[in-house]
Amino acid sequence: MSNPWLEYAMPGIRGLRPYEPGKPISELERELGISDIVKLASNENPLGPSPKAMAAAESVLAESALYPDGNAFALKRALAAYHGVEQDQITVGSGSDHILELVARVFLGPGRSSVVSRYAFAIYNIVSQAASSELRVAEANPVDHAMPYGHDLAAMRELVDESTRVVFIANPNNPTGTWVPRRELLAFLDGVSRNTVVLVDEAYFDFVHEPEYPNAAELLPDYPNLVVMRTFSKAFGLAGLRVGYALASRKLTDLINRVRLSFNPNSLAQAAAAAALDDREHLEETVAMTARERARLDAGLRELGLSTIPSVCNFVTADVGRPGRDIFQALLREGVIVRPLDGYGMPTHLRISVGLPEQNDRLLSAMKKVLAR
């Protein structure tokens, strides 16, 4: 159906397609009338949030009639201590996608460009195009690379010029699970102009235990153009409360906070996030369980004859060798939700979140049944 308002929208908006999130359990229940559904589509923490985080959220629930602290003082104080930075180096928002939108609003627009890698997080493309800037997409690593479909930073560097204001680097990357070693990241940072903002998205940071994997937050003193983004939605299990944040130099943070609307995140989210940082036991349990089950899930998928992309995240991406959306639909009828990746240009791949042991068993059993048809 044609939209008569299309011509009045900003140029970047006209060609945008909305982001496709993982299908909610309630939606599948409505569509097929089934229950006992396993959702392994959105890389959530199957252990749930920290008990300390839940208690902290409950403690402020009675204050819901009041606006939250617009400056998020307590959360910023906790984050500053956690990362060894100053509070004026922190921007908080309602999820990491909110942070991405803020960065795009400050630095992108007509006549400016951003650089992304093919098969990187789709929101980078959306916020860049929404700002009516030029989106430049670098080809990813080839299939036979040690990090197949992952970022080729040399190829990304080739697309950077004087018009480039933001480069988005996901480390590790969603939806491939691949990562960039420290030497490659440093070479990239050293090779681009300090007038170009380099945003390193570390949403899956806590799941990685590779010796050569860099903690980009430690590089902030040496690179004033660096923005490091984290989230509480993955390892900390607070996806439903929507809390993300960025670390950067004071001058970059000042600009980003100028366009951040007050009262984000909400009071419950701020309290829960600050408390979650203090629960190392829950985080360590999450990371250990994820590592065990990721290896088991990967092995199980390969036993079914599927090829997988080596992952350091809380998901495994598998090539099913046929249209992935067809397998996705068949799995839905088995009560299992995964994520098809045709929207990412990976039409035969599915991204499967690491669940609890019984959830992963359910997925493997359903996958075996579906593939045999």
31: domain CATH number?
3.90.1150.10
d(Cα 63, Cα 293) in Å, to the nearest integer?
39
Q: Where is the domain boundary, 241, 276, 311?
A: 276
Which two tokens mark 301?
Answer: 């998928």
Provide mean pLDDT across the span 80-92.
97
Is 212 a residue whose pLDDT tops 80? yes
Structural domain contains residue 251: yes
Q: 310 and 262 share a domain?
A: no
Structural domain contains residue 10: no
Q: 135 and 222 share a domain?
A: yes
CATH code at 129? Answer: 3.40.640.10
231 contact partners, CB below 8 Å, separation of at least 6: 95, 96, 203, 243, 244, 245
Total domains in the chain come to 2
Structural domain contains residue 7: no
Please report the pLDDT score of residue 308 as a whole number.
98
Structural domain contains residue 107: yes
Supply the range of the domain harboring residue 214.
51-276
Q: 219 and 333 share a domain?
A: no
HSE on the CB side for 304, CA within 13 Å?
Answer: 22
Q: 109 and 237 share a domain?
A: yes
User: Are 42 and 239 spatial neighbours (Cβ–Cβ below 8 Å)?
Assistant: yes
> What's the pLDDT tens digit per position in 121-130?
999 999 999 9
Structural domain contains residue 80: yes
Is 246 a residue whose pLDDT tops 90? yes
> What's the pLDDT tens digit per position in 13-31?
777 777 677 778 888 889 8
Structural domain contains residue 14: no
Q: How many CB atoms lie within 10 A of CB 266?
A: 18
Q: 124 and 138 share a domain?
A: yes
Q: Where is the domain boundary, 276, 307, 326?
A: 276
Provide mean pLDDT across the span 40-58.
97
HSE on the CB side for 73, CA within 13 Å?
Answer: 1
Q: 299 and 336 share a domain?
A: yes
Q: Where is the domain boundary, 276, 306, 326?
A: 276
